[in-house]
Structure 1
Amino acid sequence: MKRFDWRDEIHRLDAEADCVRIVQILTSHEFPWDMGRALGIALYRTYAVPSIGELLGRTDEFTGKTQKRYDDTALILGNMMRYGFEPGKGRDALRRMNQMHRSYDISNDDYRYVLSTFVVMPVRWLNDYGYGWRRLSDHEISGITNYYRKLGKYMGIKDIPETYEEFRDLLDTYEKENFAYTEGGRAVSDATLDLMVTFYPPRVSGLARKFSMAILDDSLIRTFRYDPPGRGWRKGADIALKLRAKVVRRMKPREEPLWADLNPNIRSYPDGYDIDKMGTFPATCPVRHNVDPVAHEELYGAEGDHPREAASSGADAEASEAAKADDRA
């Protein structure tokens, strides 16, 4: 296999109809490490929005259970990328994510912003910052955009941007208007950075933290009220990532896909996991878990988002009515 064979395969695909396959190739073959870093920064950015940072801080999921929350997020998003949105593990992951999100009062504007981070940050990391071993083409950027537009539709998000440029403008405008310090956002940021450090040997943990801070842009540093990283660290991190890109460019293409399940930093499920049992289950959850929380019959079918539970609930209801009839008799 030649170095640019995956790129050539992507360009034989349709950017809209085959957007899932395009994202699969980019994420698991062409840029698995880079996509992981870019999407991690995408999620991290959202903590700087007060309505998001404070919500995450209140739930204690990102501060008290940081490793599990990291694992659950990576596996849920990873299963959707790996299996798509058709019946099976990908749709199970989508259902679980929708159930969690609809358990909280999250505005459509915040949903749109979070979606924009997933579209924009991989492009910025690989193209704008120059950390990719090659640049993404316009065709590939369209594939990424269409994938997240589809995901946004299945999440029930309204007024989804249509182009990459619209997503980029949404992200920049939303951050300019909304980034602000909150205690909850800072606590979630601290917990996340503390977790990232554990991914490296203890002897270099201090350097790893400084490196992590050095790749955060100034708007995040200011919002979370961190001491700005030194100019030397900024320059050193930038050079190191660009040198890595040059090395990767000369490596053989990855023929076997690298999925989230194989990430050694995911540690919560050494014996395997069940998507339906992952994530949060708030005690006051308003969502009926046997129905699609965003009413997409085209995705889930008329029986709802979890037909087995729906059937079970129906059977229980029939049994209850029969018992009441017997009592009246």
Structure 2
Amino acid sequence: MDAFLPLLSYLLRNLPSPSEVIEWFRHIPKLTAVSGGILLWLALVRTCRWRRFNAIHRKYGPRWKDGKGSITPEEAQKIVAVSIMYDMPIVLNYAIAFALFKTYGIPSISKLLASTKELKSKETVSRRYADTGILIATWVGCPISGFLDPSLSAINRVPDPKPADDPRAMIALARTNWIHSKYRISNEDYLYTLSLFVLEPITWATRFGWRKLSPLEQHAYYIFWVEIGNRMGIQDIPDTLEGLRLWSEAYQETYMVPADTNKEVAGYTVEELLSPVPEAFGLKALGERMVICLMEDAVRESTSYAKQPWLLHKFLVAALGQAAFVQRWFLLPRSHEKFPIVSKLPEVDEKVRYPRLHPNKYVYQPWYKPEPTSACGIFRERLLVKLGMYAEMPGPHLKSFGYRLEEVGPVKFENDGHEEVLRRAADLQRCPVAGPWSLEGRNDRD
């Protein structure tokens, strides 16, 4: 250390002055300076953009061992979160949306959806779209173990287990199971829908993402959704990702055929997706054409949409490819997650009506959006309505006070099944639902 001090002192005494540094930069050719700046930026983007990807592969790759090892559903959920919350949230959330849309090409599914009458008006379509997004996002974004530290779940298998830290995922899943129990749904239709949640993100990342999902990530999607399927009581799930892919393709080839109900439910959904798009200058018609371009031919034919011009298809693919290229090489990654719900466990405030939750993303009919309280907030919301982003101002009729997971779903079931849902949630996570997430906690505040 003593030998180092004279060298440090010498370097400090001989540092160039700011004027000398500026003069040195002036002598660098502009082309060299610009090229160097671009190269430095590309290196920075490359280092930062792959940071989360590299971290999960360092942590979980050795456990998976290229398929020779294994990962748990809780670990799979952590792996899935990187791609769907940070790296490609827009692409992969649309993959999930189009996975649901793809089920409309199966007549047995579309007939059931049409019979519920939940897709018969703008109000019911919008509510169903919002509720479905909330439920699915809650399974994905909140810990399926119920604990912020998944290792606590393994040691909580005792006669008197402690309550879960965050039971939202299993409350949402239990609510979904309870709603589904009101209808006759075949195991094959359940399994086909489940397969799309595994396979469509893989396909969309390959087609439109700035990177593909790695083999580890693809396996994680399979492990996570198989766990969800098991907790939904789905039977005969194939033992491998490739087996699931082959089963799904065979089922689709056999049962995806045109039907009036396919076209009906698809039409309502496309209209909901394009609600914020104005009709002026043919923008809404163009938007519908672009949605059709994103469909596979089998889906398009089963929902009775006309084939679009090849030039429009090529333009759309090129535009999405260019966006992915720019994102990969020139844009820094997100510093915060982008997701339809708040995945972080909210703090409970004993002084207010809580916990009622609000999503991060709102549909055209802004369900569960808080009412603005300031003049600036009111002006902003009115401006968004004028611009056509939302159909109307938030209000109590759109549940601006927020949602409880055990209440989410069709209006006719809104006040039913709460006790059973929370009991099922406790069974799914093998520990109690207590505190503000329980019915007692809700009633204390409501």
Classify the TM-score, shorter chain: 0.7 to 0.9
The answer as to whether partners of 1:99 and 1:289 remain within 8 angstroms in 2 is no
TM superposition shift of 1:34 = 0.5
Select 1:81's aligned residue among 137, 140, 147: 140
Deviation string 1:253-276 (CA, Å, 9 cap, x unpaired) is 111011103224362111322212
Going from structure 1 to structure 2, the CA distance change for 1:191 and 1:254 (only over 3 Å counts) comes to same
| 2:52 is the alignment partner of 1:6 | yes
Given that 2:118 and 2:128 are in contact with CA atoms closer than 8 Å, whether structure 1 keeps it comes out as: yes
Q: Distance in 1 between matches of 2:79 and 2:278?
A: 34
The answer on 1:241 being equivalent to 2:320 is yes
> CA offset at residue 280 of structure 1?
2.5
What is the rounded CA distance, in whole Å, between the counterparts of 1:100 and 1:277 in structure 2? 10
Match of 2:208, SS state, is coil
Given that 1:155 and 1:294 are in contact with CA atoms closer than 8 Å, whether structure 2 keeps it comes out as no
Q: How far has the Cα of 1:13 moved from its partner?
A: 3.8
Query: Is residue 297 of structure 1 aligned with residue 395 of structure 2?
Result: no
What is the correspondence of 1:219-238 to structure 2 with a 5 Å cutoff?
A: 219-238=298-317
1:100 to 165, 179, 196: 179
Pick from 170, 187, 210 the counterpart of residue 247 of structure 2.
170
Q: 2: distance between equivalents of 1:295 and 1:76?
A: 13
CA separation of 1:187 and 1:224: change in aligned 2, threshold 3 A: same
Q: 2 CA distance for matches of 1:252 and 1:4?
A: 10
State yes or no: 1:179 paired with 2:235: no
Name the counterpart of 2:363.
Answer: 265
Cα shift readout 1:193-218 (whole Å, capped 9, x = no counterpart)? 11111143444222211111111111
Contact 2:174 2:424 in 1 (8 A): no
Q: 1:180 to 1:274 in 2, by over 3 A?
A: same
SS in 1 for 2:305: coil
**Segment of structure 1 superposing worse, 133-142 or 86-95:** 86-95
Q: Note the C-alpha offset of 1:252.
A: 0.7
Q: 1:20 is matched by which residue type in structure 2?
A: Q
For residues 300 and 138 of structure 2, the distance between their equivalents in structure 1, rounded to whole angstroms, comes to 32
Aligned to 1:40: 97
1:83-112 CA-partner distances (Å, limit 9, x unpaired): 122142212111111111111111111111
Distance in 1 separating the partners of 2:292 and 2:141? 30
Give the Cα separation in 2 of the matches to 1:295 and 1:29.
Answer: 28
Is residue 2:283 matched to residue 1:153? Answer: no
Q: Is the 8 A contact 1:58 1:184 kept in 2?
A: no
Which of 399, 405, 408 is the aligned partner of 1:275?
Answer: 405
Aligned residue number for residue 110 of structure 2:
53
Deviation at 1:24, TM superposition (A): 1.6
Which one-letter code corresponds to 2:318 in the other structure? Answer: I
- Asked if structure 2 preserves the Cα contact closer than 8 Å seen for 1:76 and 1:93, the reply is yes
**Contact map agreement 1:98 1:293 (CA 8 A) in 2:** no
The alpha-carbon deviation at position 154 of structure 1 amounts to 0.9
C-alpha distance in structure 2 between counterparts of 1:255 and 1:248, whole Å:
14
With over 3 angstroms needed to count, the CA separation of the structure-2 counterparts of 1:237 and 1:108, relative to structure 1, is same
Q: Residue 49 of structure 2: SS of its match in structure 1?
A: coil
Partner of 1:19: 76
Change (3 A) 1:291 1:75: closer
What is aligned with 1:141? 218
Given that 1:154 and 1:294 are in contact with CA atoms closer than 8 Å, whether structure 2 keeps it comes out as no
| Cα RMSD, aligned residues only | 2.8
- Partner amino acid for 1:227? A
Output the amino acid matched with 1:160. Answer: I
Aligned pair partner of 1:70 in 122, 129, 133:
129
Quote the Cα distance in structure 2 between the aligned partners of 1:113 and 1:294.
Answer: 24
State which structure, 1 or 2, has the greater radius of gyration over its C-alpha atoms: 2
Paired position in structure 2 for 1:112: 191
CA distance in 1, matches of 2:417, 2:211: 44
Write out per-residue CA displacement over residues 171-190 of structure 1, whole angstroms, 9 at most, x where no aligned residue.
11111010122222211100
**Structure 2 residues without counterparts, runs of 5 or longer:** 1-46, 65-70, 147-165, 341-358, 371-401, 441-446
> CA distance change for structure 1 residues 69 and 298 in 2, over 3 Å: closer, same or farther?
closer
Aligned residue type for 2:90 = W
1:324 is aligned to: none
CA displacement at 1:140 relative to structure 2: 0.7
Structure 1 contact 156–294 (Cα < 8 Å) conserved: no
Contact persistence 1:290–1:309 (CA under 8 A): no
| Letter of the 1:6 counterpart | R
Q: Is the 8 A contact 2:422 2:438 kept in 1?
A: no
Q: Which moved more, 1:79-88 or 1:40-49?
A: 79-88
Alpha-carbon displacement from aligned partner over 1:137-174 (angstroms, at most 9, x marks no partner)? 10110111111011111111111122221121121111
Task: Return the alpha-carbon distance in structure 2 between the equivalents of residues 248 and 201 of structure 1.
Answer: 28
Q: Structure 1 residues 293, 239: closer, same or farther in 2, change over 3 A?
A: farther
| 1:12 shift after superposition | 2.9
For residue 200 of structure 1, what is the amino acid of its counterpart? V
Letter in structure 2 aligned against 1:259: F
Specify every segment of 5 or more residues in structure 1 that has no aligned partner in the other structure, as ranges. Answer: 311-329
Is the Cα contact below 8 Å between 1:199 and 1:265 reproduced in 2? no
Separation in structure 2 between the aligned mates of residue 302 and residue 255 of structure 1, nearest angstrom: 34
Q: Aligned AA for 2:227?
A: K
Match of 1:251 among 309, 331, 337: 331
